[in-house]
Amino acid sequence: MREPDTTDVEALRREVDALKWFHRLELGHGVVTKAQYDPRRTLPETKLPASLAGKTVLDVGAWDGFYSFEMERRGADRVLATDSYSWSGPGWGTKAGFELARRTLNSKVEDLDIDIMDLSAERVGRFDVVMCLGVLYHLRHPLLAIERLYDVTGDLLVLETECDFLWHRRPGAAFYPGRELSGDASNWWGPNAKCVLGMLEASGFRKVEVASRHSFPRMVARAARHRIKGANPFFRMLQTDRIVFHASR
């Protein structure tokens, strides 16, 4: 394969720099997206196997596609990236980053612009592994969304979400009618871990578990960062965490 000349790389870098990115992506030849979020830091928390050979994967809420491309890199036979809000919805994101990254990486990841509430096995099929990372707490109807995810999951659902009311002994959820969480009006619900596990079981999953959660020192550090940024009060943030759940049919 011919190595790109300097002009090609500089042209790519200009194209990349012209876009607003959410995911940090390494596109080769030293070109890295200037993004808001580096998924490499939290990827180990998903507890996904190093090899996905022979598996089909659905990435719900793919945005710029980091996880989709990573699952392809791990050998998945087929990866379908889906999004709506971040590709064609009211948010600031677009599909341009995903399309540029796919082209640059010479990826075969498929794409479908579809809302999570419109997912069904009839519409998209069933996938061995379904990933829904950082989406649930943005939804007005989280239980209904989990039911949609159940319908398209063949084996394993990997769900990551913002959780609240962590120290409550009963299943419960905080409701954010405005900008209560991080000043972001797109945040709607902060269920606690017991609530998420309960919703997964109520939707039909037979085996549900917390795959990973942060230690208390990590939670303190996160709360301190939010306080410094003026996003959320320190002690309020000690009730919240980002938690990964695994659910199997």
Model pLDDT, residue 219: 72
* CB hemisphere CA count around 141 (13 angstroms): 9
CA distance 208 to 206: 7
Q: What is the DSSP letter of 147?
A: H
Q: How many residues does the chain have?
A: 249
Nearest Cα residue to 175 out of 199, 156, 191:
191
- This prediction has a pTM of 0.92
174: which strand partners? Answer: 190
The backbone torsions φ and ψ at residue 226, rounded to the nearest 5 degrees and listed phi first, read: -65, -40
Model pLDDT, residue 127: 98
Amino acid 90 reads P
Residue 223 CB-density burial (10 A; 0-12 exposed, 13-18 middle, 19+ buried):
buried
The backbone torsions φ and ψ at residue 140, rounded to the nearest 5 degrees and listed phi first, read: -75, -25
Nearest Cα residue to 99 out of 89, 91, 110, 90:
110
- pLDDT tens digits in sequence order for the chain, 249 residues long: 344 555 699 999 999 999 999 999 999 989 999 999 999 989 999 999 999 999 999 999 999 999 999 999 999 999 999 999 999 999 899 999 999 999 999 999 999 999 999 999 999 999 999 999 999 999 999 999 999 999 999 999 999 999 999 988 899 999 999 998 888 899 999 999 999 999 999 999 999 999 998 777 777 877 787 777 777 777 677 778 999 999 999
Model pLDDT, residue 6: 55
Superfamily assignment of 49-248 in CATH?
Answer: Vaccinia Virus protein VP39 (3.40.50.150)
Model pLDDT, residue 217: 79
Nearest Cα residue to 157 out of 45, 39, 42, 57:
57
CA distance 22 to 59: 16
Model pLDDT, residue 1: 39
